[in-house]
């Protein structure tokens, strides 16, 4: 006798509402152990692997790749081990049936994958027979199309023969997406027979093949909401300052050949990050949060670094950056960038930021007016550094020049404070030796 457990989509971050099923790592019939990775999901912040809270046999995947489901939605059913073939060949006697099936071991929350190995039995092997569900469903007739009742109803309403639809479901079934894709293909081609047009949502108009539609979801959806909320709730004020960063470039050059920094990537962003930390310590109100009833000033620095990733813009932060040496800060920046590019940034890495830096200069942009990250009151845009004519002691000479742009929440940061903060950041970029004071 076997039991089954339903695993529901958990809240893997604070206040998670929904997530997209990116890729199942198991299929029906697989044997899983506690902490084996079942699926990768994409939240509004990151890609997360969900470990199994149960040990047993995957009985059914309840949602498909690409589906977006709400927290609490059942996503997979995991059953217990089935009885051996010789035991199931004859009717069970009362002595054969346990009083209560052994309970699965639940795993509270989600976490890193354990070292357990997931074994997938070969078809037809004794292990595969043993791992099969206790009461497998009879195979569908060869001429019957697999589809769930809602899909069948939709096909009937649209006048589409399911046999004409190419299935992509995990068990060879026609999904709703398959049905809609088939409908769209029909709409783009010759008119379909039957009463299709009577039920279609509108006149059949072939869409321009040069147009691409991208569904707004995941990081893009979360970023859009956050930026709109910030732009229209916090009164932004932006200021700019040109900086002679020649000494910063010389300092970075020396660090690159230093034995202490051997094997560590060093760039002008490192000096800017250190400058922002230093300047915020001198002007604490730029490192704050506005709540409406009070201003929360943070005497620590969780320095956010805006990072362009394949999944969109993300802002992970370096916790307690004020405690790091220049070398430790360089290592932290490298680790942050590597993790972000790999799409492995976790929700906790993006929570609790206090002030953000966006390095638009990496894309060859001189400056910009960045939008403040929600929950913060300041952001610094770092423009490209390039040689420009600069006046030094009455003479025009070529110098390495950059433009810093800062945006501030005017409810917290007044004009004089924002100016003093940006002047302090610029002072470090002009003379990094000030960091030694």
Which positions are catalytic? 410
CB of 174 within 8 A of CB of 158?
A: no
Question: Measured between alpha carbons, how far is 237 from 410 in angstroms, rounded to an integer?
Answer: 6
Terminus-to-terminus CA distance in the chain, angstroms? 74
Instruction: Please enumerate in sequence order all residues whose Cβ is within 8 A of that of 184, keeping only pairs 6 or more positions apart, or say none.
Output: none
Question: Measured between alpha carbons, how far is 428 from 126 in angstroms, rounded to an integer?
Answer: 70
State the burial class of residue 422 (Cβ atoms within 10 Å of its Cβ: 0-12, 13-18, 19+): buried
Q: How many angstroms separate the Cα of 412 from the Cα of each of 193, 331, 400?
A: 65, 32, 33
Beta partners for 79?
4, 57
CB of 330 within 8 A of CB of 266?
A: yes
Beta partners for 56?
32
* Three-state secondary-structure class, residue 314: strand
* The token pair that represents 8 in the structure block: 């529901």
244-248: long-range pairs with CB below 8 Å, 24+: 244/390, 244/399, 244/400, 244/401, 244/430, 245/385, 245/400, 245/401, 245/402, 245/429, 245/430, 246/399, 246/400, 247/430, 247/431, 247/432, 247/433, 248/385, 248/400, 248/429, 248/430, 248/432
CB of 175 within 8 A of CB of 64?
A: yes
Name which of 213, 222, 212, 380 is nearest 309 in CA terms: 222
State the burial class of residue 395 (Cβ atoms within 10 Å of its Cβ: 0-12, 13-18, 19+): exposed
């Amino acid at each position: 006798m076997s039991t089954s457990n339903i695993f529901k989509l958990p809240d893997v971050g604070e206040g998670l509402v929904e997530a997209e099923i990116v890729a199942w790592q198991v299929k029906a019939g697989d044997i899983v152990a506690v902490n084996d990775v079942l699926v990768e999901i994409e939240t509004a912040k990151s890609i997360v692997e969900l470990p199994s809270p149960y040990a047993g046999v995957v009985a059914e995947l309840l949602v498909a790749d690409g589906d977006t489901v709400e927290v609490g939605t059942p996503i997979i059913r995991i059953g217990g081990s089935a009885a051996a073939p010789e035991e199931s060949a004859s009717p069970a006697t009362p002595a054969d049936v346990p009083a209560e099936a052994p309970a699965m071991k639940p795993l509270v929350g989600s976490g890193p994958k354990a070292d357990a190995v997931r074994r997938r039995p070969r078809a037809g092997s004794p292990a595969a027979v043993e791992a099969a569900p206790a009461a497998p469903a009879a195979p569908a007739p060869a001429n019957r199309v697999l589809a769930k009742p809602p899909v069948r109803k939709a096909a009937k309403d649209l006048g589409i023969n399911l046999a004409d639809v190419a299935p992509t479901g995990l068990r060879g079934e026609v999904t709703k997406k398959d049905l809609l894709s088939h409908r769209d293909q029909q709409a783009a081609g010759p008119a379909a027979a039957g009463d299709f047009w009577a039920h279609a949502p509108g006149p059949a108009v072939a869409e321009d093949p040069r147009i691409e539609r991208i569904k707004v979801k995941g990081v893009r959806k979360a970023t859009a909401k956050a930026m709109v909320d910030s732009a229209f709730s916090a009164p932004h004020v932006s200021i700019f300052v040109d900086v002679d960063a020649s000494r910063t470039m010389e300092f970075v050059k020396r660090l690159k050949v230093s034995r202490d920094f051997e094997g560590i990537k060093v760039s002008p962003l490192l000096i800017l990050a250190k400058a922002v930390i230093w300047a915020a310590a001198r002007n604490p109100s730029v490192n704050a949060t506005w709540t409406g009833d009070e201003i929360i000033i943070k005497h620590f620095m969780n320095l956010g670094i805006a990072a362009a990733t394949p999944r969109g813009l993300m802002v992970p932060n370096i916790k307690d950056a004020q405690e790091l040496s220049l070398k430790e800060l360089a290592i932290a920046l490298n680790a942050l960038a590597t993790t972000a590019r790999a799409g492995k940034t976790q929700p906790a890495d993006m929570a609790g930021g206090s002030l953000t830096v966006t390095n638009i200069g990496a894309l060859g942009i001189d400056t910009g007016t960045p939008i403040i990250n929600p929950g913060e009151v300041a952001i610094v845009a770092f423009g490209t550094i390039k040689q420009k004519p600069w006046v030094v002691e009455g003479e025009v000479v070529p110098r390495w020049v950059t433009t810093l742009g800062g945006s501030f929440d005017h409810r917290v940061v007044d004009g004089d404070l924002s100016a003093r903060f940006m002047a302090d950041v610029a002072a470090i970029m002009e003379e990094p030796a000030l960091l030694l004071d």
